[in-house]
Structure 1
């Protein structure tokens, strides 16, 4: 009897052990799913990433819908979450994003920690050898907010496929005969592919970092391959047509002035091939205002520049990108905001909004209703001007509306803009 009891006990013990193992194995996938890295997926057209947990903090950058942001912290209110981006750590409002993964173990970041991080912050640059196209010294990136979007594919007339990101300002060109694009920013990491020099082809820049030896690495979006890392010194940085009409300097030792034909400011001396964005043209058409890659603006003789035409962003149809960045909301208290086409060029009279946000109204006065609101930097085609010279009639997705010229910068020829009688 004792033997039978022992046998029965052993059988029950074995059954219990197997049952426990089965439960543990069944729970394993659930446990794995529970610890998926937390991230926020932007579910509004545009979302501001700020330097702190609130709308009172400045905008670090603006990202487009669908962007995935890894989460590393949260505020006590559980509304603002700390995320990592291509330009550093920032904060977003969770009301404009969809959470993915496990948020159970996300630490609370105190206000003291936010202030300490801000005090230690330094201006963001790509850290490349030369953002000034040949001037040396590592010109800093412009301080304008950056709209970061997923690269879009285009097929050039040559049959080559190129990717371009909405809002990009710079692109990268291979500056050596051949270079390996690696899967990590480390020398010796596995190579994804080999890129060869072609001065007529360039790549979207998606990230930048330094390794332990302080060597700068740049992440490029390589068509049909993915993101690959290349050493910064092996790249040449050029301007992207997405951010404006690009011109190149013709000649050497071209003096850049702070006024058309003169001025006293010490501005750079420009040489053959230097790139710049075209900003304005003088009333007598003898000088043009340009903006260098580092944001420096100045005037040069009209015949000292020529329009650039031989790079991928010069050849693609930008309307696709313009449609990609059209939106009705930037998030965090700026509802109803829309964007304009990237750039018109000086052939079309237009205004550039030079305030944070500007209302487009149904008539030439602040008494009229708001048709749309545009963020600073947006461009709107000018269709006419009121007799008072203060209000411009502009066109856009809203149809036609009026903006106050005091909050804009006019580009193009004012002589071609008709005066509109608004008194009747």
Structure 2
């Protein structure tokens, strides 16, 4: 009798205990998964903003290789709400991170509390009409140590140059199956890269097909002529390829800052200095100024831009160089510059 009673109450209790342990296990698994939602920054410098868009203010900056904790996302997965190593919460563009879990598994944050800071209103001076900028470029980040840029869409074509992990490329087109992308490098070399080794900010399938492409050459044959860039490229524009770029009143670091442009923004090309180290541009705010040519990408040779100033830069390559009052050794020495000094 007692054995029957014990058996009768033992099994329900055992079932309840098993269900309780299973629930605890599921909560633990869910908690562990939530804690593992991290991402690695895959660009040189990435702004963390107060809201999901470039119009929101910058609250922090993270750099390539740093790890952030993913908390939530926008409905279209284009922006992710993260916590930075500085324990600052904000939004980052999802195109420039490598997530540890699919972004679409994160919870969606609906209404955004921060209010975007409206851009300043610039009243142009009489006769100064702001220059429109056409945002036509889409970019990709190199996701391997070193990547060859070739003259055609296959490994049998000639290597033109190489790009490296973290470099930002301007995507111009693709081959028929999207396995190779026609790009412009930060040094303005155009060519083809294998699509497997880049992280695009725009669907490769939506790029224009460049062709027809000449058949793959046999070893030892002449190098094919690179295909013509697509007609969508507007030669008067360039894209910013660094986190934040100062726009100055003249072609050099000694000039005052008149504006700033961020990564991915577009500027209008207006001219250059004598050695093409500085480029005069029009900004999205309607201002004009000079930027360092190393930090913008365009599909044209910037050496073809008009020279707007006769100043250039150079480096002293001798022990000591005299600076004289006139163009010849007979003139008085005003000062001297040591080896390696930068000269304007």
**Which band: TM-score by shorter chain?**
0.3 to 0.5
TM-score (norm 1): 0.30
TM-score normalised per structure 2:
0.36
